[in-house]
Structure 1
Amino acid sequence: MSMVWQVYLAGEIHTQWRAEITGLSETLGVNAAFCSPITDHQLSDDIGQHITGAEQKAFWNDFKSARLNQARNKVLLEKSDIVVVRFGEQYRQWNSAFDAGYAVAHGKQLISWHDESLNHALKEIDAAAITVVNDVDQVVKALTYICK
């Protein structure tokens, strides 16, 4: 029986790239199980106040939610074999950069995915990655090679 690779899909949450990767990977028989951060942006931003109530300062609402999100994300990252990090073009993704650094620091194999216009800005992250890709097909080709 072959190994099932654990793949964490980190990065921007405003497009459907995760569904594209998981669907194409399943079609091609990639032996991987996928997980990701919470992709409901509003829930992710507000979970702290949903659990313990609202704070007067927005900083503390963000802080409580970030702590809960990190608790979940760190566990999933640590259990993963491969981390795909997607840097989108529209938003600054500090959380994506954090996930990439955390993954590399914990010995995970990193696939960095972004548009070529971000090459300079992400050069340190790219230097730590096993590959740098520009689209869904390249991500799935890399996962197919590694996980089959």
Structure 2
Amino acid sequence: MKLSVYLSGEIHTDWREKIIQGCQESNLNIVFSSAVTHHETSDSAGDHLGAETEQFWRDNKSAKVNAIRTKTLIERCDVAIIRFGDKYKQWNAAFDAGYCAALDKPYITLHSEELIHPLKEVDASAQAWATSVEKVITTLKYISSN
């Protein structure tokens, strides 16, 4: 079975690359997509639509352009992996989880045990919670097997 997997959340570690590599090494038939993970590129996504004099409006315009990409990729995926890191608050990841829940799109959360309490509502709607990339890969192996 071919799966489409959307990778959402924390951008400061290599968890995406590890999942992709682990799935490739296991010969899983998975196509991965993700939000733009380069800060400057994401922050300037709406700049081509015209200059803004206030930061709020620049951020607002770029957020809307980024949302076109995110919403489209989430709607097209079979399952989303949503990573919450320990160092920064990933408000965008929480939003993506909520969007998945609203669409009844299956998602797996990936985070440490220290975040169980603050993410209890997000995890309650998830189909699985993993504490490591390896557990995510094992889950993907199971759901993509014939």
Structure 2 length normalisation: TM-score?
A: 0.96
SS at match of 1:47: coil
Cα distance between partner residues in 2 of 1:106 and 1:130: 13
Per the alignment, residue 32 of structure 2 pairs with 34
SS at match of 2:51: coil
Cα distance between partner residues in 2 of 1:106 and 1:146: 19
* Unaligned runs of at least 5 residues, structure 1: none
Q: CA deviation at 1:53?
A: 3.2
Per the alignment, residue 107 of structure 1 pairs with 104
- Equivalent residue runs for 1:44-83 within 5 Å: 44-49=42-47, 51-83=48-80
Per the alignment, residue 9 of structure 1 pairs with 7
Cα distance between partner residues in 1 of 2:120 and 2:27: 32
Q: CA deviation at 1:14?
A: 1.4
Give the counterpart letter for 2:77 in structure 1: S
SS at match of 1:144: helix
Picking from 108, 116, 123, the partner of 1:119 is: 116
Cα distance between partner residues in 2 of 1:17 and 1:34: 13
1:113-135: CA deviations, max 9, x gaps?
11111100000110111111111
**RMSD value, Cα:** 0.9
Per the alignment, residue 16 of structure 2 pairs with 18
Give the counterpart letter for 1:124 in structure 2: E
1:96 maps onto 2:115 in alignment: no
Per the alignment, residue 141 of structure 1 pairs with 138
SS at match of 1:60: helix
Cα distance between partner residues in 2 of 1:16 and 1:38: 14
Cα distance between partner residues in 2 of 1:40 and 1:126: 27
Cα distance between partner residues in 1 of 2:138 and 2:78: 16
